[in-house]
Structure 1
Amino acid sequence: MRRPDAVLYQDAFLDRLSSGLESLLSEWGLGPGTEVELLTVSENATFIARDPARANPVILRVHRPDYHTVSEIESELAWISALRLSGAVETPALVPLVSGGHLASFEDGEDTRHVVGFEFMEGHEPDADAGLVPGFRLLGAISARLHGQVESWTPPAGFARKTWDFASAFGPEPLWGDWRAALGLTAEGKALLEQVCTKLERRLAAYGKGADRFGLVHADLRLANLLAREDGLGVIDFDDCGFSWFIYDFAAAISFHELNPIVPELQAAWLEGYRSVRPLGAEHEAMIPDFVMFRRLLLTAWIASHSETETAAEAGHAAYTDGTLEIARAYLEAAE
């Protein structure tokens, strides 16, 4: 579980990361005139490095401590490389170190910060409006190609990524914190979400983890991790990739927009795109509400344990919990 450490998002912390990065720039062959600018910070901190001597900038991702091991980070990079080789998805290439390999690091107090470099990819985050429907058709096809690549790919020895299932999300040591700490959650709301957990656990156990439904997934295909371009749709940030149900990728795609009236259209478009690449039976489609609920409850826990972040503020803090309860009521009322 992530350390409760609100100071991670203060200016002094970000200045420290910038300084650490500047000490590593030569590892990627970036010159002394390189300018480093923060792009985003949520769990990891992502910077853009512009070297006047290079045609394109380099994206540098500084990993948070106490989350992924070196083996897990290297496994993510191995999958990205395999995906690019297969042509399954448009995603930025890794920028190797001058000395070889892809992982650099610097010391930050008692922590070691691991850093990975990626090529810059043009594009912008899609807007959450009706114009998103064609994009979700593309995203469905991309998701299907990702899942197809997984079924035919043999990971390298030592491949390790986290598992996103009921136990890891809502068990005794949840990866993103305990939803029971959700902001503004009342006793009545807690009782409602306990019922949700009971139903979720039962339905996920019945659905099972067969090879036709469970495997390596991106696990965070939300709008912030998509790059809309004239020639298609790019996918970035495989940091949360891991083993879960394939349909979970759709639930992640509508993160923070579950109550948007266009979601049924987005779902229909995603399914159409998916089925244009590989089959998806009614049994799997019927589980979509379960995975939407699963993801929403998981994000409710994340926001509670990351209340100091910009993402939590944009979600509305306690208002996000209220939305979760609205979704939960509909989920419990739905016929099985």
Structure 2
Amino acid sequence: MSASDTLTHQQKLDQLQRVADAALKTYDLPAGAKATMINLSENATYRVDGGGGKWALRVHREGYHSKTAIGSELAWLQALRHDGAVTTPVPVKGKNGEIIQTLSLPGLAQRHAVLFDWEAGAEPSEAELLGPFEVLGAATARMHQHARQWRRPQNFERMTWDFDGAFGKVQHWGSWRDGMGLDAEKTKLFQRTVDLMEKRLAAFGKGPERYGLIHCDMRLANLLIDGEETKVIDFDDCGFSWYLYDGATALSFIEHRPDVPELIAAWVKGYRSVLPLSAEDEQEIPTFVMYRRLLLVAWIGSHAETDLAKSMGVPYTRDTVALCEDYLRRYS
């Protein structure tokens, strides 16, 4: 157990604020620039205001990504923007000329931080999603197309979100068995679902046309619409997985909506406007939607202190039951 495990949630927030305040001093920002937390998930994200300007500061979670892995994320993010695939945030160099700042404060674990120029735009509304999902499908395909052609830097390091990374030996987000509100009956049902997914994904394979470097969190919260421009943010989970997993992440937390088939169709239409997608691949999308859903059950269980996990909680696990039953009926 680390020392931070004994702290209250407020004490952890106070520590993070100390790190954020220290990080600001490593950049050439206007005097009096202030960091205000706007999101706490894997990392802590702050809006930085000063001198009429605005930036986004990300303080990385302790022990989640190495400095090399963060640098790899930023390399792809910058290449996507430079090559015109999609608009991505622009990292800001610190006074030392580096875009990753390493903070070592007395009594605290070492942390990495990255500052980005603030990107204007608004997250698409959940009230009308068909248009945004088509735009999202096209943007995702452009990113996949770029990843297939891009020559990655030496020592490129990112997580692998294959079956082992999600549900097997590694479990980056913990075990779905630790999800909120699980009982013996749900556990048995979820295990049957996981077993079926494993079997189908083994048959689906990891050929280069189906598996590669992807964003891994292409949900609407990470999409900004700025007039006619679509921007993609938060590449913190980017890594190696099936390309179709990106499509499933677009449905994060709304997998149970009755219009999901229409949203998938809109995403596929947008995707096919850029890249081909076989009928066989399209038919496997429900497997990846189920994959993401159970991965989020695990995430909620292992991130119970976050506002997002609290807002989902037991009802999210309960509503997963019907999705599992439907998936088993469809594919068993």
Which bracket does the TM-score occupy, shorter chain normalised? over 0.9
Partner of 1:84: 81
Q: CA deviation at 1:16?
A: 2.3
- Deviations 1:130-171 (Å, cap 9, x if unpaired)? x21111111000000000001111100000000001111111
Is 1:266–2:263 an aligned residue pair? Answer: yes
Q: What letter corresponds to residue 122 of structure 2 in structure 1?
A: H
| Residues 6 and 270 of structure 1: CA distance in aligned 2, closer, same or farther (over 3 Å) | farther
The one-letter code sitting in structure 2 at the alignment partner of 1:112 is Q
SS in 2 for 1:39: strand
Q: Does 1:236 align with 2:227?
A: no
- Partner amino acid for 1:121? E
State yes or no: 1:323 paired with 2:319: yes
Task: Report Cα offsets for 1:111-140 as digits up to 9, x if no partner.
Answer: 1110001110111222212x2111111100
Q: How many residue pairs end up in the alignment?
A: 331
Q: Partner residue of 1:216?
A: 213
Question: d(CA) in 1 for partners of 2:43 and 2:331?
Answer: 40
Matched residues in 1 for 2:175 and 2:140: separation? 29
Which residue number in structure 2 is paired with residue 14 of structure 1? 13
Contact residue 9 and residue 308 of structure 1 kept, 8 A: no
112-121 or 180-189, which moves further after superposition?
A: 180-189
Corresponding residue for residue 64 of structure 2: 67
Residues 2-22 of structure 1 show CA distances to partners (whole Å, capped at 9, x for unaligned) of 989667772332222222222
Letter matched to residue 118 of structure 2? F
Question: Which string of whole-angstrom CA distances, capped at 9 and with x for unpartnered residues, describes residues 282-320 of structure 1?
Answer: 1111110100010001000111111121011211x1111
Partners of 1:9 and 1:181 lie apart in 2 by 21
Contact 1:3 / 1:66 at 8 angstroms: preserved in 2? no
Aligned to 1:39: 38
Cα distance in 2, alignment partners of residues 147 and 3 from structure 1 = 39
What's the counterpart of residue 112 of structure 1?
110
Name the SS for the 2:37 alignment partner.
strand
Residue 165 of structure 2 corresponds to residue 168 of structure 1: yes
Q: Which amino acid aligns with 1:126?
A: P
Q: Which moved more, 1:28-37 or 1:285-294?
A: 28-37
Aligned CA distance change for structure 1 residues 288 and 4 (closer, same or farther; 3 Å): farther
Q: Which amino acid aligns with 2:40?
A: V
Q: 1:4 to 1:320 in 2, by over 3 A?
A: farther
- Closer, same or farther: CA 38–147 of 1 in aligned 2, 3 Å: same
TM superposition score normalised by structure 2: 0.95
Greater Cα offset, 111-120 or 221-230:
221-230
Tell me if the contact between 1:9 and 1:309 (Cα under 8 Å) persists in the aligned partners: no
Does 2:119 align with 1:124? Answer: no
Offset of residue 179 of structure 1:
0.7
Displacement of 1:245 in angstroms is 0.4
Query: What are the Cα deviations for residues 244-271 of structure 1, in whole angstroms up to 9, with x where unaligned?
Result: 0000001101100001122122111111
Cα distance change, pair 7–76 in 1 and its aligned pair in 2 (3 A): farther
Distance (Å, rounded) in 1 between the aligned partners of 2:94 and 2:163: 38
Give 1:24's aligned residue. Answer: 23
Instruction: Find the aligned partners of 1:251 and 1:180 in 2 and give their Cα distance.
Output: 21
Q: RMSD of the alignment, in Å? A: 1.8
User: What amino acid maps onto 2:203 in structure 1?
Assistant: A
Could you tell me whether the CA contact under 8 Å between 2:9 and 2:305 is conserved in 1? no
Q: Which residue of 2 aligns with 1:275?
A: 272
1:228 and 1:9 mapped to 2: Cα distance?
37
Structure 1's 7 and 238: CA in aligned 2 closer, same or farther, altered over 3 A?
Answer: farther
Q: Share of identical aligned residues, percent?
A: 45
Of 294, 305, 316, the residue aligned with 1:297 is 294
| Amino acid in the other structure paired with 1:105 | T
Matches within 5 A, 1:193-208: 193-208=190-205
SS in 1 for 2:46: strand
Counterparts of 1:8 and 1:91, CA distance in 2: 35
C-alpha contact (below 8 Å) 1:216/1:244 kept by paired residues: yes
- 1:239 deviates by 0.1
Unaligned residue ranges in structure 2 (runs of 5+): none
